[in-house]
Structure 1
Amino acid sequence: MSIVWDERGGATVERDGHPQSYVDPDDPLLLVFEYVQQFALVLEALRPDPAPLAVTHVGGAGMTLARWVHRMHPGSPQIVLEPDVALTELVRRELPLPRGHRIRVRPVPGQEGIGALRDGSADVVVVDAFDDGRVPPGLAGQAWVRELDRVLATDGLVLVNAADEPGLRWVARLCATLSGRFSHVGQLVLREVAKGRRYGNVVVVASRRPLDDVSLSRAAARAAFPSEWRGSAQVARALAGVRPFGEIGEPSPAPPDAGKLRLR
């Protein structure tokens, strides 16, 4: 693992040979990775009130989104589940968290950490955890989705950073699995990924309550990278005949060689 600084004063956190986070210590609102911007767009659209949010992050790395939540929703109690103690220590040393934060890092894997949370204790659960560039199978199956359902508040949101090959078949199975517990599952996706032009990330949004398609479509339209919002009705139609994962899921497809990271 390493932290690579650039001429802009920002830093990329790398793990397993893959870039995990980009952090500008002086500007937590600067979000470089597309999927992190999409996380923020979803929260801005669905949780516009700056009131504190109880957020649980499955996967920590540089804690970019936790820093953003702290700035946009001051006083938010946040839990970060990050089993890599050495990574957390490196980030704390090189990229200190902002003053007054309520971010607590627990050195446990996502499944163990979620299992220890109280019922209905999270307003938002963000799942952004990879093992050697792939979403682990334990964070995709029905057992995992039941735990997400248990810890989420009645009007809570689940946000998942998924990654898949053209065709998005793995993402479809993940959405089918989430649909077993959450009535509304949508996707915010880059247009070039949606059109099957390349491997890429998809932000999956799950909720028990209807998602505001109008606000989310507007959010996609103002994204820095051409994106589209696929509402729950559209996703549900696409899931016809798709088989959900079993109790334990399958790892997401391996990414192609990342090559040189481009900061856009």
Structure 2
Amino acid sequence: MNSPSPEVAVPAVPSEPEAPRALPNGLAAFLVFYSSGAVLVLETAALRLVGPYVGVTLQVTSSVIGIALAAIAYGAWAGGWLADRRNPRTLLAPALVLSGIATAITLPAVRYAGEVLRGGAESAILLLVVVAVFAPAMLLSAVSPLVIKLQLADLRRTGQVVGRLSGIGTLGAVTATLVTGFVLVAALPSTVILFGLAASLGITGIALWAYLRGQDRATLPGPARAKAALAVLGLVGVGLTVVAPDPCDVETAYHCAQVETDPDRASGRTLLLNSAQHSYVDLADPTHLKYAYTRWIGAVADVMAPEGQRLDALHLGGGGFTVPRYLTATRPGTDNLVFEIDGGLVELGERHLGVRQGPDLRAEVGDARMLVAAEGTDTRDFVVGDAFGHLVVPWHLATREMAAEVRRVTRSTGVYVQNVIDYPPLRFIRSEVATVAAEFRHVALIAPPEALAGERGANFLIVASDTPLPLAAVRARLDDRNEAVSLLSGSDLTDFVGDALVLTDDYAPVDQLLATA
């Protein structure tokens, strides 16, 4: 009789872990659209945040774009890495909440760091932009790969899912860029934009957490103390913002603006744009010209039109409206037409700088290049070029094509003066003189001797006309004003300019020419 065979235990086959459930398609699309758009809101707002400390130049703009792209790349990589190791459903809400906190902390962090890094050296620009953009943009960029991982339930539809969500993310970025540039920046201060975004991210994260918890009991990871720490961190960010130094009295669409009272002259007001001195006006005496370059402009105007003789004047850039007020005071009846791209500066001038619009002073808000093109031929006696983006002449106002437009609207006996700022080795001012001379028959240059020698940066004033310039009279007028400046013309100016590049719409590397290295 055979004994029964012993039963052999069959090892249990471990079950495959249940794949995380996909999100509803609408929710997945919203999260990708929203997080991608939030990155571009941050990127656009960052230019306004760092501008008061390092200016708004090509280098600053390039830094913001480059650092934002780096944050997107690292965030996408980190999000994908985490999605393969953790349940993405438990990571989405924390990513949004953390990005909201990082956004809230950005404003005070930039303001404190900006006070230390103020100036504009390349290393300072990069570091300040990293503070402004990197952390929240990286956290937000991790959202898309987390969502995509959840939606890849069917490998046969991988391309369709990835392509659709990537396209939705791009549409979110495009929408946010347009809305921020056309609406938010024009209507709201940076503080409101950033805190509105931070609050929106936090609320969205909490709402998502509550939704997912109701679906599958997923909760924010970590103990209660970690959650409390996040809440405290957010409150600290808000508190730091309250006490952080604010460099702006008024935030316009283009500038962080301040008006300071001159401690040595009760009626004197200094206009600072992005923390750089831009204009000075005397509310009680519009003929008081504090800055040297404005006195040079006044000297040229005094020579070309004796006091009391009206002029048809066109001003490219308003700023503090110093020169228009001077011409109105010294030449009643003068028609001053001012093209100013920043409507907020016009309003600021009317409130704080004694600007009164009327028959002798009109301000048109818009880009000077576009507005000059609409002006009639031979309509102006005196054209003043004094438009700046921070301390740089906007490149499209520095080209031969722009000089040709200015020449067209200037009468044959009229004069064009252009204020330029440059630094050793003086590549930009040489090119700009060459550019203006390519259109006007007679050109001269007024500048401090030490600046022409390449010893320091300074303002330079280009003077141009199609008729011979009254240089002897201008020199005498400058001497009367005790101006220790040089007046270059003829062969001396030709030697100074050398073989400098004539700037054109096709090639005008203004920021590179201004680089001191």
Residue from 213, 218, 228 that aligns with 2:476: 218
Partner of 1:259: none
Residue from 257, 260, 265 that aligns with 1:4: 260
Partner of 1:22: 280
> Does the aligned pair in 2 maintain the 1:82–1:110 contact within 8 Å?
yes
Q: CA deviation at 1:145?
A: 1.0
Distance 2:414 2:442 in 1: 12
Letter in 2 for 1:73: R
Q: CA deviation at 1:229?
A: 1.0
Q: CA deviation at 1:100?
A: 6.5
Residue from 155, 161, 172 that aligns with 2:413: 155
1:250 aligned onto 2:509: yes
Q: 1:33 to 1:112 in 2, by over 3 A?
A: same
> Does the aligned pair in 2 maintain the 1:67–1:98 contact within 8 Å?
no
Partner of 1:236: 494
Partner of 1:58: 316
> Does the aligned pair in 2 maintain the 1:176–1:239 contact within 8 Å?
yes
Secondary structure of 1:81's counterpart equals strand
Alignment of 1:1-264 (within 5 A): 1-7=257-263, 8=265, 9-97=267-355, 102-247=360-505, 249-251=508-510
Q: 1:58 to 1:95 in 2, by over 3 A?
A: same
Q: CA deviation at 1:101?
A: 5.5
Distance 1:224 1:142 in 2: 34
Distance 1:150 1:64 in 2: 25
Letter in 1 for 2:478: A
Distance 1:42 1:255 in 2: 30
Q: Which moved more, 1:238-247 or 1:93-102?
A: 93-102
1:153-208 superposed Cα distances (whole Å, 9 cap, x missing partner)? 11111100011112422111111111111111101111221222211110000111
Q: Which moved more, 1:182-191 or 1:220-229?
A: 220-229
> Does the aligned pair in 1 maintain the 2:307–2:330 contact within 8 Å?
no
Q: CA deviation at 1:220?
A: 3.0
Secondary structure of 1:185's counterpart equals strand
Q: Which has the higher strand share?
A: 1
CA-atom RMSD, angstroms? 2.0
Kindly name which structure, 1 or 2, has the bigger radius of gyration based on alpha carbons: 2
Q: Which has the higher helix share?
A: 2
Secondary structure of 2:510's counterpart equals coil
Structure 2: give runs of 5+ residues left out of the alignment: 1-256
Q: Which moved more, 1:96-105 or 1:23-32?
A: 96-105
1:41-99 superposed Cα distances (whole Å, 9 cap, x missing partner)? 11112322521101110110110000000011110011111111111101101123358
> Does the aligned pair in 2 maintain the 1:128–1:160 contact within 8 Å?
yes
Number of aligned residues: 256
Secondary structure of 2:460's counterpart equals strand
Distance 1:140 1:100 in 2: 30
Letter in 2 for 1:166: P
Instruction: Give the TM-score normalised by structure 2.
Output: 0.47
Q: Which moved more, 1:190-199 or 1:70-79?
A: 190-199
Q: 1:180 to 1:164 in 2, by over 3 A?
A: same
Q: 1:225 to 1:49 in 2, by over 3 A?
A: closer
Secondary structure of 2:375's counterpart equals coil
Partner of 1:260: none
If asked which structure has higher relative contact order (CA below 8 Å, sep 6+), I would say 1
Structure 1: give runs of 5+ residues left out of the alignment: 257-264
Between the two proteins, what is the percent identity of the paired residues?
A: 26
Letter in 1 for 2:396: G
